[in-house]
Structure 1
Amino acid sequence: MEIKLSDKPAQPVAFIRLHIPQAKLPQTIGETYMKIMEYLQRVKSPLAGEPYVAYYNIDMNDLDVEMGFPVAAPVQAHDDMNFREIPAARYASTVYKGPYAGMETAYGEFMKWLEETGLKPAGPWFEYYLNSPQEVPESEFLTRIEVPVE
């Protein structure tokens, strides 16, 4: 697994933040992405990147997650939809290929690499979904995992 460091500029995003159990995550991601996409189409806001989930904790019974899309320009908050910028920062990132159920191993290797390099997470962990389960088999899923570091 190759892990890279890069400096990323601030990125505007439209998102919904939720607390949910891990068991409901797959269904909730799909429903939430649809809700966000419908809103962005209604306000004619173009996307500027892949959908993501940001993980603010690892409590599998009560995950604190943010699901969203990078956007080209700010959008107005509406109901439970919000807007913010993911701050500019130095990020460590890797691309994982395979089923989502196997990502635990990738995270383990990633955390070991952080420990070995002396870097520490400085914010939530992000998963960017580079292709769609509707388009490719599980063995071909591509997920970019990244975290701001200090």
Structure 2
Amino acid sequence: MDIIEFPERHYVAVRKTITLTTFGVVADRIPEIYGWLVAKGVAMEGAPFFRFHVIDMEGDLDVEAGVPVAGPVEGEGDIVAATLPAGRYASVRQVGHPDQLFPVIEKLRNTPGLVFDMTEEADGEHWGSRLEIYHTNPAEQPDMNKWEIELQFRLKDPA
């Protein structure tokens, strides 16, 4: 696990409210986002990711499927332009099937001394910035057990 200081980062995304069983509703939009960026001539900068805004593991998840871009752009339709907040992020990489992330997430969340940019509310955990970044291209490596996935969880600013 590393602590990394990031500047503000630009991206475009599609945001949906889903459940764990309907994750494909947002995940399946990533190729469309890539196509939109290519058609607009927008430079991409990094691997696609999922940004979790609100998490209720027993209910709904407010999630974005995003693609980083080199600079500010204007969205169109339900493809929105946004930024990831600057700050310190706890980061860990995992090679394996996405289903194997739960113990990695729990270990990161239970690391002593880390205070995350997250608040507990009635509808779930509200995150300032919680990312799952997919560094492996599924077209080049279809075996999900060999995928490299990075977790980046923003830390609360020191008081």
> C-alpha displacement at 1:22, in angstroms?
1.3
- Find the aligned partners of 1:28 and 1:7 in 2 and give their Cα distance: 28
**Deviates further, 130-139 or 4-13:** 130-139
How many Å apart are 1:41 and its aligned residue?
1.1
Cross-structure match for 2:115: 120
Which residue in 2 is equivalent to 1:140?
A: 146
Which moved further from structure 2: 82-91 or 129-138?
A: 129-138
Kept after mapping to 1: 8 A contact 2:17/2:60: yes
Q: Show the 5 A alignment for 1:46-85.
A: 46-60=43-57, 61-85=59-83
Q: Which residue matches 1:12? A: 10
CA distance in 2, matches of 1:59, 1:132: 28
Residue of structure 2 in register with 1:111 after alignment: 109
CA distance in 1 between counterparts of 2:26 and 2:7 reads 29
Contact 2:15 2:26 in 1 (8 A): no
For residue 149 of structure 1, what is the aligned residue in structure 2? 155
Number of aligned residue pairs: give it.
144
Counterparts of 1:135 and 1:104, CA distance in 2: 25
Q: Percent identity?
A: 24
Higher helix fraction: Structure 1 or Structure 2? 1
Q: What is the TM-score normalised by the length of structure 1? A: 0.89
- CA drift of 1:27 comes to 5.3
Q: Which runs of 5+ in 1 are unaligned?
A: none
**Aligned-residue CA RMSD (Å):** 1.3
Show the counterpart of 1:131.
Answer: 136
> TM-score, normalised to structure 2's length?
0.85
Distance 1:18 1:27 in 2: 8
